Amino acid sequence: MKLLQVSDLHLSQISPEEKIYSLSVLREILQTAESTNCDRILFCGDLFNTFPDLEGLRSDFLKEVSSYSGIIYFLPGNHEILEKRNSNHYASYDWSSKVKVLDKTPYFLFEDNGIEFLAIPHQENYSELLLAPPPTKQTKLRIGLAHGTVSGMSFTGLSEEEEEGGSYLDPNLIQNLDLDYLAIGHLHKARMGTVGKCNVGYAGSSRVWRKGESGKRGGIFLFVEGSTIRTESVNWKSAGEYKEIIVSLDTEGKPEESIETYLAETNPNDWIVFRFAGYVDSMSEKQKFQETVLRDWKSKFRILEFDPDESQITVIQHLSENEFVKQFLDKMNERKGQMDPSLWRHTRVTGIRLILEGKKNR
């Protein structure tokens, strides 16, 4: 049996652009599952960004789903409950015969093709599950579906901004569920780990949902063979990436590279953010660069914007006329082809700073 695990697609109708973009990623997910003969798709929470999005985009979702010949398991996450003003169960809505909504709490245990699936929809806490755990596994494999944070798997560095609002799944609870694999959503950066004998897989967000989510977006193929599960990652081209482009300015305020060079490794689905850095005479050339980018390139990308934080730009009038700076830059230009580009830029900026600080201290 072959499964495709995905999560955190955040289908949204907040704007026409967001609707088109998020549905295009859904379309690629379904096409990939169909073309690779996946029997099931596991949507592990936050398929929709809010409950109004669920109501407003359900028909669009079902229209896209009609092209897929398999079955979809949809486990609600913490976002599906946002702005929810009634007590209706998600399963009360018409999802067609292709979509099985797994919203029964504290859990829902069912069998499919000789595999036990244990669905644990998002809950404020999992005390009920702890007090009344599921029965002992009766098949060779038990696969869990959940949405939340597994303690010990959320931290990936100070630069990572993790999703808020989810509940924590205690490792001891996971071990008591007799799982072989836990397909889980909520954290937007893909990662794998283990809790006891259970392998835990986060597919990460299926699309770039917010600023700072760098790296490719994708899902996880699950190949089930007997009593083993093999995993393989897959990326969505239509999701694009979040990319920060650092534009180093020379002393006249001009970017060191052409616009085409800065955008060489991008594609139309990317979220582009330009950041500027350097010691300059003035910002007039930087402003001209921005105007050209907005006029000629903004419409070619999903999102293209400039970081409002310009603290990395230092304006010093007549900087380019400073003889010490000119001599230093001449030497640096001679070495440009001999050094790593990032190291060359860093050395150049550091050198100018040290020259100027030395001048102040004289």
The string of pLDDT tens digits covering residues 222-264 is: 999 988 999 999 999 999 999 999 999 988 889 989 999 999 9
List of residues 6+ apart from 60 with CB closer than 8 A:
11, 19, 23
User: Are 305 and 168 part of one and the same domain?
Assistant: no
| CA trace torsion 297, 303, 309, 311 (10° rounding) | -50
- Tell me, what CATH number does 198's domain have? 3.60.21.10
pLDDT for 51-76, tens place per residue? Answer: 999 999 999 999 999 999 999 999 99
Q: Which of 235, 262, 287 is the last residue of a domain?
A: 235
User: Are 185 and 329 part of one and the same domain?
Assistant: no
Q: Quote the CA–CA distance of 265 and 347 in Å, as a whole number.
A: 24
User: Taking a C-beta distance cutoff of 8 angstroms, is the pair 46, 133 a contact?
Assistant: no
List of residues 6+ apart from 227 with CB closer than 8 A:
140, 141, 180
Band of pLDDT at residue 152, cut at 50, 70 and 90: confident
- Determine the average pLDDT of the residues in 353-359: 74
Band of pLDDT at residue 155, cut at 50, 70 and 90: low
User: Are 210 and 262 part of one and the same domain?
Assistant: no
Band of pLDDT at residue 160, cut at 50, 70 and 90: very low
Residue 147 Cα distances to 200, 217, 226, 254, angstroms: 12, 18, 26, 48
Q: Which of 213, 235, 257 is the last residue of a domain?
A: 235
User: Taking a C-beta distance cutoff of 8 angstroms, is the pair 250, 256 a contact?
Assistant: yes
Please check the confidence at residue 179 and state whether its pLDDT lies above 60: yes
User: Are 248 and 155 part of one and the same domain?
Assistant: no
User: Are 57 and 205 part of one and the same domain?
Assistant: yes
User: Are 250 and 324 part of one and the same domain?
Assistant: yes
> Which helix (H) or strand (E) element contains residue 6?
strand 2-6
The type of residue at 58 is R
User: Are 187 and 275 part of one and the same domain?
Assistant: no
Least confident of 30-34, 49-53, 295-299, 310-314: 310-314
Of residues 218 and 331, which shows the higher confidence score?
A: 218
User: Are 288 and 311 part of one and the same domain?
Assistant: yes
Please check the confidence at residue 159 and state whether its pLDDT lies above 50: no
CB atoms closer than 10 angstroms to residue 12: 22
Domain residues for 93? Answer: 2-235
Q: Which of 203, 235, 267 is the last residue of a domain?
A: 235
pLDDT for 97-127, tens place per residue? Answer: 999 999 999 999 999 999 999 999 998 888 8
Q: 3-state class of 79 per DSSP?
A: coil
- Per-residue pLDDT, 25: 98
Q: Which of 143, 149, 132, 200 is nearest to 45 (CA)?
A: 149
Q: Return the bridge partners of 109, or none.
A: 118
DSSP 150: E
User: Are 229 and 334 part of one and the same domain?
Assistant: no
Q: Quote the CA–CA distance of 153 and 198 in Å, as a whole number.
A: 14
Q: E-assigned strands of 102-205?
A: 108-112, 115-120, 141-147, 149-150, 168-169, 181-185, 191-195, 198-202
Tokens encoding 190 = 């893909």
Q: Which of 281, 265, 267 is nearest to 326 (CA)?
A: 281
User: Are 276 and 341 part of one and the same domain?
Assistant: yes
User: Are 264 and 203 part of one and the same domain?
Assistant: no
Band of pLDDT at residue 161, cut at 50, 70 and 90: very low
User: Taking a C-beta distance cutoff of 8 angstroms, is the pair 153, 191 a contact?
Assistant: yes
Please check the confidence at residue 297 and state whether its pLDDT lies above 50: yes
CB atoms closer than 10 angstroms to residue 115: 19
Domain count across the chain: 2
CB atoms closer than 10 angstroms to residue 361: 6
- Per-residue pLDDT, 329: 80
User: Are 69 and 170 part of one and the same domain?
Assistant: yes
Q: Quote the CA–CA distance of 97 and 66 in Å, as a whole number.
A: 10
